[in-house]
Every structure is written in structure tokens, then in C-alpha cells.
Amino acid sequence: MDVISQLFALTQDTPQTQVLPWARAYKTALTEPNVLIYSLIRNREREDKFHWVGQLTTQRIYIWGLRSKFPQPFDSIEQAKEYRISTPQAYTTAAYLERNDFKHVYLTGQYEQNIGMLLKDRIDLIISSPVVLHELAKKKLIDSSQLVPLIEVTELESNVYVALSKGSDSALVSRYQKQFERLVTLPIFEQIKAKWQVD
């Protein structure tokens, strides 16, 4: 949100902001014009479905568990398949779990639900980036020291972008792309990255 706030300061636009469950947000951005969506993983399947405004970060994904339950990291992804795991539906992580034959998968609307299920012992594992968990800790939904990364899912390393819906006005797209290019040259962009501990 920090980057988006700075982007709107540069464009001098006043956004109509909506916080939506991910599946609904994604569908809205697919079907309605002039919708800015973030953070969105850029991949082959999505390449032609959006106008890509600018890259926020490179995201690394891990499988996490409670430190009290998993004193040792996993030796392989196969180990994780023995446990109950949760991720939001419509995320690339959900497609990964299905593609790799995880049997005990619970799909949710948002990460907050995953955390609640984990703390109530309804699941054993979650799959997420450190940035998402940092944000949830900031909201005081979890003490991040309770969680431990058990194994990195290298297949899911990806570039995360701000994007505009495909039907957006071309002048709007161009203006936002140019202002994002300007933003990444400003000191505030490095400060935001340091705050969120991302590369």
C-alpha cells in the first residue's frame, strides 16, 4: 500500500479504494476497465490479460508451520504433503498445490483465514511469502516469531507487479507506467523496500 500511495501522489489522482477477497478482486480486474490491482504475480498465463504498470519486488514463497510444532525444516516438498495446508483460492499457490498432488488442501478467501486456522490447529501448514506474513504481523494477527519457514518453494519464485485491467484507457496506462518509472528512482522507494524487508 505504501508504494501505491506514493504512486497516486505522483499521478495526483484520488483513488476509489476497495479491499476485496482476492478471487473477487482478480475477477473485477479481469472484467472492468480502469481497475488498478496489486500485488499481482506476472506469469505466462496472465501476461496478455493486464497492462503491467511496474514491478514491486521478486517474491519468494515458503511453506510455513508453527515453530512449536516443527522444530526442524523439511528435507523435501514431499514431506509437506503429509500435512494439512491452506492457501487463498485463485492464488498461484493454490494452483501449485493442486498441480503437485497435495491431498489435504484447504482453500480460503484470504490469508487472515489461513492464520486463524493455523492457530486453531485446523491446519498444519500455510504457503506464503515473508512479505505477506510481515503485513499480517503488522496488523497484529500473528506474532511472526511463532512461525518458521520449513522449505522454500523455488518453483513459485516470481515477479510481483502493479497492473491495470486490460480494458483501461491507454492514456491512463501510459501515465501510470511513466509515474511508476519515476517512483522507483526516488529515495522513498528504497525506504519502502527497506521497511518491508524486500529486494
pLDDT, one tens digit per residue, over 91-107 is 889 999 999 999 999 99
CATH architecture assigned to 61-156: 3-Layer(aba) Sandwich (3.40)
- Percentage of the chain surpassing pLDDT 70? 98
**Bridge partners (DSSP) listed for residue 86:** 106, 126
Judge contact between 158 and 58, C-beta under 8 A. Answer: yes
User: Which residue matches cell numbers 487463498?
Assistant: 88
35-45 b/e with 16+ CB inside 10 Å = b?
bbbbbbbeeee
197 pLDDT band, cuts 50/70/90, is low
Domain ranges of the chain: 2-58+159-196, 61-156
Position 199 confidence tier, pLDDT thresholds 50, 70, 90:
low
Helix residue spans in 12-110 (DSSP H): 22-31, 77-80, 92-99
Cβ atoms 56, 3 nearer than 8 A: yes
* Residue 22 pLDDT: 81
CATH topology match: 2-58+159-196 vs 61-156: yes
Which residue, among 143, 152, 141, 81, has the nearest Cα to 113 in the 3D structure?
Answer: 141
Report DSSP letters for 130-174, one per residue.
HHHHHHHHHTTS--GGGEEEEEE-GGG-EEEEEEEETTS-HHHHH
Compute the distance between CA of residue 8 and CA of residue 15 in angstroms, rounded to an integer.
Answer: 8
pLDDT surpassing 90 at residue 55: yes
pLDDT tens figures, 137-188: 878 778 888 999 999 999 999 899 999 999 999 999 999 999 999 999 999 9
Q: How far apart are CA 126 and CA 190, in angstroms?
A: 29
pLDDT surpassing 70 at residue 9: yes
pLDDT-derived band at 45, boundaries 50, 70, 90: confident
Looking at domain 2-58+159-196, its CATH superfamily turns out to be Periplasmic binding protein-like II (3.40.190.10)
pLDDT reported for residue 133: 86
How, if at all, do strands 85-88 and 105-108 pair?
Answer: parallel
- Largest distance between two CA atoms of the chain: 53
